[in-house]
Amino acid sequence: MSYVILQLKKNGLHAYEDSDTIKMCILGDFLSSDVGCDGTGFKDWFYDDAQDASNSNVTSFWKEGDYIILVDMLSEEEDPTELKMTRDQFIKVLNEWLDVVCVHKPQEVTITEVNGEFIFETK
C-alpha cells in the first residue's frame, strides 16, 4: 500500500503535500499540476487511438498495450521511476478526480494504491 496526500490551497486548487513513494508523487503532481480541474484534454488523449504519447507541465505519459505509463519529466533519477496503471484505472482516477475532488473541493485528498487499485479518500 502506498499513498499521496493533496491539500486544498487558498487559490481553490489542490497541491501536492506528501507521499511515501516516487510513483505516488508522480500521480499527485499529475493530478494537481497537469490535470487541475480541466481534464478534457486528458480524456480526449485517452480516447484517441492515434495519440500514443503526450506530456504536460511536469509529466510525460504514454499508452503501452493495456497500460498508461506516467513519468516525472523533471526527475533527476538516471532511470526515471514510472507509474504504470491499467487504462481502466487511469480513466477511473481521472474521473474520480474531476467528478469528486474538483466538484466538491475537499480540504484534503488521500489516494492510496492497494494491489493496483487507486482509492480516493476525502476530508
How high is the pLDDT of residue 29? 96
According to the model, what pLDDT value does residue 11 have? Answer: 93
- Residue 65 is predicted with a pLDDT of 96
DSSP string, 51-113: --EEE-SSEEEEEETTEEEEEETT---SS--EEEEEHHHHHHHHHHIIIIIHHH--SEEEEEE
pLDDT in the model for residue 38: 84
Question: Which pLDDT score, from 0 to 100, does residue 86 have?
Answer: 97
Return all residues near 63 (Cβ < 8 A) that are at least 6 apart. Answer: 52, 53, 69, 87
* pLDDT mean for each 10 residues of the chain (123 residues): 97 95 97 91 93 94 97 94 97 96 97 95 96
For residue 72, with 0-12 CB atoms within 10 Å meaning exposed, 13-18 middle and 19 or more buried, which class applies? buried
Q: What is the pLDDT of residue 51?
A: 93
Report the alpha-carbon distance of residue 117 to residue 101 in Å, rounded.
18
CA distance 103 to 97: 9
At 10 the pLDDT is 95
For residues 13 and 35, the answer to whether their CB atoms sit within 8 Å is no
